Structure 1
Amino acid sequence: MTTMKTVTLPDLGEGLTESDLVEWVVAVGDTVELNQVVAEVETAKALVQLPSPYAGVVAELLVEPGVTVPVGAALLRIAVEEPALADDAAPTPAEPPDRVASPTSDDDSAAADRPTPAAGAAPERTSVLVGYGPLVEGSSRPRRRSRSADWAAAHAVAHDVGLALAGGRTGPKVLPPVRKLAHDLGVDLNKMVGSGTDGMITREDVLRAVSGAEASPAARRPSALAAAHRPGLARSQSRPADDVPAPHRPDAVPSAPRETRTPITGVRKQTAAAMVASAFTAPHASTALTVDVTPTLELLEAFRSDRALEGHRVSILTIVAKAVTIAVGRNPSLNAHWDESAGEIVQYGYVNLGIAAATPRGLLVPSIKDADGLTLPDLADAIGRLTQDARDGTTTPADLAGGTITITNIGVFGVDTGTPILVPGQAAILAMGAIRRQPWEFQDQIALRSVLTLSLSFDHRLVDGAEAAHFLADVGEILARPGSVLRMV
Structure 2
Amino acid sequence: MTTVTAQRFREFKMPDVGEGLTEAEILKWYVKPGDPVTDGQVVCEVETAKAAVELPIPFDGVVHELHFGEGDTVDVGTVIIAVDTDPGAPAGEAAPAAASAAEPVAEPVAEPVAVKAPEPEAPKRQPVLVGYGVAASSTKRRPRKKAAVPAQAGPELNGRATVTEPRPLAKPPVRKLAKDLGVDLAGVTPTGPGGVITREDVQAALAPAAPAPAPVAAPVVPEPVPSVQPSAPSALETRVPIKGVRKATAAAMVASAFTAPHVTEFVTFDITRTMRLVQELKADPAFAGLKVSPLLLVAKALLVAIRRNPDVNAAWDEARQEIVHKGYVNLGIAAATPRGLIVPNIKDAHAKTLPELAAALGELVATAREGRTSPGDMQGGTVTITNVGVFGVDTGTPILNPGESAILAFGAVKEQPWVHKGKVKPRQVTTLALSFDHRLVDGELGSRVLADTAAILEYPKRLMTWA
Q: With the length of structure 1 as denominator, give the TM-score of the two structures.
A: 0.68
Which residue identity lines up with residue 358 of structure 1 in the other structure? A
Q: Which of residues 277, 282, 286 is equivalent to 2:264?
A: 286
How far is 1:281 from its partner? 0.8
User: Where in structure 2 are the equivalents of 1:180-195 lying within 5 Å?
Assistant: none
Structure 1 residue aligned with 2:57:
52
Which residue identity lines up with residue 24 of structure 1 in the other structure? W
Q: Matched residues in 2 for 1:27 and 1:346: separation?
A: 49
How far is 1:333 from its partner? 2.3
Q: Matched residues in 1 for 2:140 and 2:268: separation?
A: 73
Q: Matched residues in 1 for 2:30 and 2:253: separation?
A: 33
User: Where in structure 2 are the equivalents of 1:319-398 lying within 5 Å?
Assistant: 319-398=297-376
Which residue identity lines up with residue 401 of structure 1 in the other structure? Q
Q: Where does the alignment leave 5 or more consecutive residues of structure 1 unmatched? A: 85-105, 136-140, 147-240, 244-256
Q: 1:292 to 1:142 in 2, by over 3 A?
A: closer
Preserved contact between residue 7 and residue 139 of structure 2 (Cα < 8 Å): no
Secondary structure of 1:384's partner? helix
Q: Matched residues in 1 for 2:365 and 2:68: separation?
A: 31
User: Please, what is the CA RMSD of the aligned residues?
Assistant: 2.8
Q: Matched residues in 1 for 2:88 and 2:122: separation?
A: 10
How far is 1:2 from its partner? 8.2
Q: 1:2 to 1:418 in 2, by over 3 A?
A: same
Q: 1:386 to 1:484 in 2, by over 3 A?
A: same
Preserved contact between residue 114 and residue 143 of structure 1 (Cα < 8 Å): no
Residues 389-429 of structure 1: per-residue CA shift (max 9 Å, x gap): 21111111100100000000000110001000111111110
Structure 1 residue aligned with 2:409:
431
Q: Matched residues in 2 for 1:444 and 1:412: separation?
A: 31
Structure 2 residue aligned with 1:129:
128
Are residue 302 (structure 1) and residue 283 (structure 2) matched? no
Q: With the length of structure 2 as denominator, give the TM-score of the two structures.
A: 0.71
Q: 1:83 to 1:133 in 2, by over 3 A?
A: farther
Higher radius of gyration, 1 or 2 = 2
Q: 1:108 to 1:326 in 2, by over 3 A?
A: farther
Structure 1 residue aligned with 2:255:
277
Preserved contact between residue 35 and residue 63 of structure 2 (Cα < 8 Å): yes
How far is 1:362 from its partner? 1.0
How far is 1:115 from its partner? 3.3
User: Where in structure 2 are the equivalents of 1:190-229 lying within 5 Å?
Assistant: none
Structure 2 residue aligned with 1:38:
43
Preserved contact between residue 15 and residue 133 of structure 2 (Cα < 8 Å): no
Q: 1:78 to 1:483 in 2, by over 3 A?
A: same
Secondary structure of 2:15's partner? coil
Which residue identity lines up with residue 42 of structure 1 in the other structure? E
Q: Matched residues in 2 for 1:369 and 1:115: separation?
A: 51
Preserved contact between residue 116 and residue 142 of structure 1 (Cα < 8 Å): no
Q: Matched residues in 1 for 2:88 and 2:328: separation?
A: 52
Which residue identity lines up with residue 59 of structure 2 in the other structure? Y
Are residue 10 (structure 1) and residue 15 (structure 2) matched? yes
Preserved contact between residue 44 and residue 55 of structure 2 (Cα < 8 Å): yes
How far is 1:144 from its partner? 5.7
Q: Matched residues in 1 for 2:396 and 2:435: separation?
A: 9
Are residue 21 (structure 1) and residue 26 (structure 2) matched? yes
The percentage of aligned residue pairs carrying the same residue is 51
Preserved contact between residue 314 and residue 376 of structure 1 (Cα < 8 Å): no
Which residue identity lines up with residue 415 of structure 2 in the other structure? R
Preserved contact between residue 2 and residue 79 of structure 1 (Cα < 8 Å): no
Q: Matched residues in 1 for 2:421 and 2:271: separation?
A: 15
Secondary structure of 1:128's partner? coil
Secondary structure of 1:482's partner? coil
How far is 1:289 from its partner? 0.7
Q: Matched residues in 1 for 2:354 and 2:14: separation?
A: 40
User: Where in structure 2 are the equivalents of 1:27-106 lying within 5 Å?
Assistant: 27-81=32-86
Secondary structure of 1:461's partner? coil
Q: Matched residues in 1 for 2:118 and 2:292: separation?
A: 59
How far is 1:265 from its partner? 0.9
Which residue identity lines up with residue 127 of structure 2 in the other structure? V
